[in-house]
Amino acid sequence: MKAEEFAELVPHGDPYALFDRWYVEARVGEPNDSNAMALATATPDGVPSVRMVLLKGHGPDVCGQGGFVFYTNGRSRKGREILANPQVALLFHWKSLRRQIRIEGSLIPVTEEMADAYFASRARDSQLGALASDQSAPLDSRATFLARYEEVKERFEGRAVERPRHWTGYCVTPRAFEFWHDRPFRLHERRRFTRDEEGGWTSTLLYP
């Protein structure tokens, strides 16, 4: 095994800064949806569910306390589970880069101003779809959904689409990061960062 294969690829430091470096590379190298992340939620009695959402903001100063932002229908299954149990986990998996990042933490809603600003930036058809969809509710046929979409489209013809109050964003504040980097022969490199009582970060390597 060559010496460079032993070089440390996941150093100790600021986990937000390390995320930024990896994310910039993913935005260039990952062919589809480099901002996609798996969001795991659970009911109060611990029944889990997971789905993909899109990262729409991140950093140590986001939402005043640092975090990772996504938007969704608050009446959906994930929205109901978030309301009942704000403890969540995120997973970024960039297969082309052979890397992944796990994030654990709790979340809070974004401000009304943030939600309004992001909703206004969306494509108009996406805005209309948000109003037409009762996300996660049973649907008798796709024709019903498309008819509701056409009704909403007609209702807002010639004027701005209003953000529904139940459509909003959430900010996940990390208490732990785990960075995983693929290495030859499954001798992978893993480092876990944990927030300390002063708001800084400690870290340790983990066996792969």
Question: Among all residues, which ones are annotated catalytic?
Answer: 186
Structure tokens at 109: 């809603």
How far is the CA of 140 from the CAs of 77, 150, 165, in angstroms?
A: 18, 17, 25
Q: Which residue has the tokens 């004027």?
A: 159
Best CA proximity match to 89, nearest among 37, 135, 45, 47 = 37
Non-local (6+) Cβ contacts of 11 within 8 A are 18, 191
Give the distance from CA 63 to its chain's centroid: 14
What is the Cα–Cα distance from 208 to 111, expressed in whole angstroms? 39
b/e 113-129 (16+ beta carbons within 10 angstroms → b): ebbeebbeeeeeeebbb
Non-local (6+) Cβ contacts of 84 within 8 A are 43, 44
- Tell me the Cα Rg of the chain: 20
Q: Where are the alpha helices (DSSP H) in the chain?
A: 15-29, 77-84, 112-121, 124-132, 142-155
